[in-house]
Amino acid sequence: MTPPPVTGPAPAPEGLLAAGLADPAAAGRARLAALDAALLAAHARDDRAALIRLYAEASEAATGTAAAFYMTHAYVFALEAGDPRSAMLRARLVALGADLPDTP
């Protein structure tokens, strides 16, 4: 006996589903959820270097207002720490439309 023909898209391998790769939106939400958990842990241990890095990463993973929110936090923590990345983070804020460029 032959099996019936398969119709519709092939099911995603279980590993892809578990990683959220079969649904890019779910993967993005999972990445932001993991970053949020890491941010809470970094706040709890007052790890400023991790906060700058994690907020910048979260900004890259987010869109719109959320991206600007995360980038603003990365920038503020960098300013407070005297971190040399603050200029680059500010430039990213300008690119997001969340800050104004310097005028000559």
The pTM score is 0.74
* Residue 67 located in a structural domain: yes
| CA angle, 89 then 30 then 12, to 5° | 130
In a domain, 80, yes or no: yes
Residue pair 39/52 in contact (Cβ under 8 Å)? The answer is: no
- Structural domain that includes position 47: 20-96
- Looking at the chain, the whole-number percentage of residues with pLDDT higher than 90 is 64
Asked, for residue 6, whether it belongs to a domain, the answer is: no
Q: Is residue 103 part of a domain?
A: no
Is a pLDDT exceeding 50 seen at residue 11?
no
Rounded-to-integer distance, Cα 46 and Cα 53, Å: 13
| Domains identified in the chain, total number | 1
9 is a domain residue: no
Tell whether 11 is covered by a domain.
no
- Report yes or no on 75 lying in a domain: yes
pLDDT digits (tens, 9 = 90+) for 58-102: 999 999 999 999 999 999 999 999 999 999 999 999 999 999 998
Between the alpha carbon of residue 1 and those of residues 50, 54, 64, the distances in Å are: 60, 56, 55
10 or 26: which carries more pLDDT confidence? 26
Is 1 inside any structural domain? no
